[in-house]
Amino acid sequence: MSARITIGLFVGGKGSRMGGIAKGLLRSPSDGETLIERLVRQCARAAPGCTPCLVGPAAPYAALALPELDDNPSGIGPLGGLRALLLRALTDQSDIALALACDLPFLDEATLSAIITPFSGLTRVPFVEGRLQPLAAAYAPRAALHAADRSLAQGEHALMHVLAQLGPELERVEFDDQRARALRDWDTPEDMGR
């Protein structure tokens, strides 16, 4: 039996380094597709039948007509979005809450599949170039929610703190250079030219 998955596409960034443009609406120079459209398409291939939710302030993405999740609580950055996604996953009785940043122009079906399978009941986070990637990760909803709530209670809002709270509930997934490239994001205009 395959794992049940709730997918959250994190769209809450202000895009200040991109001149205020919502990063998911940036277009690929190769085919003109927006990053968010490409991400939705890749998710449909890797997890058929799963409709992604937009996590965070999603007004710029209204044309996509996707379900939206408000941060819970708001005003604390991605932790509020992760917590909202985990609560939705528990409501949906999902095994996995897949959290994805909206600015991943190279993320493909194979890399998504490597993140979500094999499902071991642990939160699976890619480890790339010496860093964990919390917004390209498959969270075990109940354990991750407890970790998020502990972080919140301690006044810690960084997603890295949540991962530290998971301890043995965290599975680090080592990615080779090819998979590492698939997780490169677009944070600045210079990134788009690479």
Domains annotated for the chain, with CATH where assigned, are: 5-192 (3.90.550.10)
CA distances from 49 to 29, 63, 194 (A): 29, 20, 33
- pTM of the complete model beyond 0.85: yes
Q: What pLDDT, in 10s, does the model give residues 89-125? A: 999 999 999 999 999 999 999 999 999 998 899 999 9
| Chain segment 68-96, per-residue pLDDT in tens | 999 999 999 999 999 999 999 999 999 99
- Given 3-state DSSP classes, what are the helix, strand and coil percentages for the chain, each rounded to the nearest 5? 40, 20, 40
The candidate with the shortest Cα–Cα distance to 35, out of 52, 180, 81, 94, is 52
